[in-house]
Structure 1
Amino acid sequence: MARIRAGVVIIEDRNVAFIKRVKNNETYYVLPGGGVEYGETFQQTAAREAFEELGVTVQVGPLFATIVDGGEQYYFTANMLCGEFGSGAGEEFARSTSGTYQAVWVPISAIDQVNIYPTSIASLLIEMDSSEMEA
């Protein structure tokens, strides 16, 4: 059974917070997020994962996207409240067999130049940026 996941979309100064992953000689980027634990809401999971993976406390906002790709994934907009970006110390950082994890900012203008999973998130971020630029 596919796991239900939740994560955050944090945008500051036209940059998006991602986790840069290097695993099996592949480099790719994912939004901070992870599996929903028993008793958690999707929003609680998103906030917990932001803290574990980025080292920041966030205020979770509205749902940004629901992705059905090998399981359900819920991504919420979020604003950083406090903490030090890049200081996340979740369990995935300690597992050397899982490759590397690094919190990074990716300019929205460069999203189409890097490998982002799920790919539909990249399209949504570019589309959102384009519509904001026209407004």
Structure 2
Amino acid sequence: MRIRPAALIIENNHVLFLRYDYPGGSKFALPGGNVDAGETFPVTIARECEEELGIEVEVHDLLFTGQVHATDDFSACVHVVFEGDIVGGIPQLHPGETTADDLVWVPVDKISELHIYPAMNDAILDFVHTGKKGQYVGTLKQIWL
């Protein structure tokens, strides 16, 4: 089972996402990635944000965690999402470090319309509207495009 820590970065009522384009449409992921040996989740998030987006991120509280079950094509994954703030740099996609096609700032009121990897739309909106932190949200649906 993989573990993917990521940061929910909100600025001016917009959420930072990486966009991946596929023949069936786009899907969106929060910045983060795979844990290297010996790394804590906050260190992984900070490293991935620096490598892929050229930004320094301060990682705060755990917001929520959920899991995606394995399929014939994909291994199971636990997604661990922390609150994050950009403390240095301006986000710019570094194509040599990621397979993402673009980075986008999505207005909070458009989150429910996105195909997010995994489908954590409700958990993101729950945090935005209630400030709840540290939730286990259970099984996350994954819509593969």
The answer to whether TM tops 0.5 is yes
User: In angstroms, what is the RMSD of aligned CA positions?
Assistant: 1.7
Runs of 4+ in 1 over 4 A off after TM superposition: none
| 1:35 aligned partner | 34
Q: Is the 8 A contact 1:60 1:76 kept in 2?
A: yes
TM-score by length of 2: 0.77
Q: Distance in 2 between matches of 1:91 and 1:50?
A: 10
- Whether 2:83 is the aligned partner of 1:77: answer yes
1:117 aligned counterpart, secondary structure: coil
TM-fit CA distance, 1:90: 4.9
Instruction: Please give the residue correspondences for 1:123-134 in structure 2 after superposition, counting only pairs within 5 Å.
Output: 123-131=122-130
Q: Distance in 2 between matches of 1:74 and 1:5?
A: 6
**Unaligned 5+ residue runs, structure 2?**
69-75, 132-145
1:116 aligned counterpart, secondary structure: coil
Percent of aligned positions that are identical: 33
Q: Is the 8 A contact 1:4 1:36 kept in 2?
A: yes
| 1:16 aligned partner | 15
TM-fit CA distance, 1:84: 1.8
TM-score by length of 1: 0.82
2:38 aligned counterpart, secondary structure: coil
Q: Compare the two structures and name the one with the higher helix fraction.
A: 1
Q: Distance in 1 between matches of 2:93 and 2:23?
A: 24
Q: Is the 8 A contact 1:52 1:90 kept in 2?
A: no
**Unaligned 5+ residue runs, structure 1?**
94-99
Q: Distance in 2 between matches of 1:83 and 1:74?
A: 24
Question: How many residues get paired?
Answer: 124
Q: Distance in 2 between matches of 1:106 and 1:71?
A: 24
67-76 vs 28-37, which moves further: 67-76
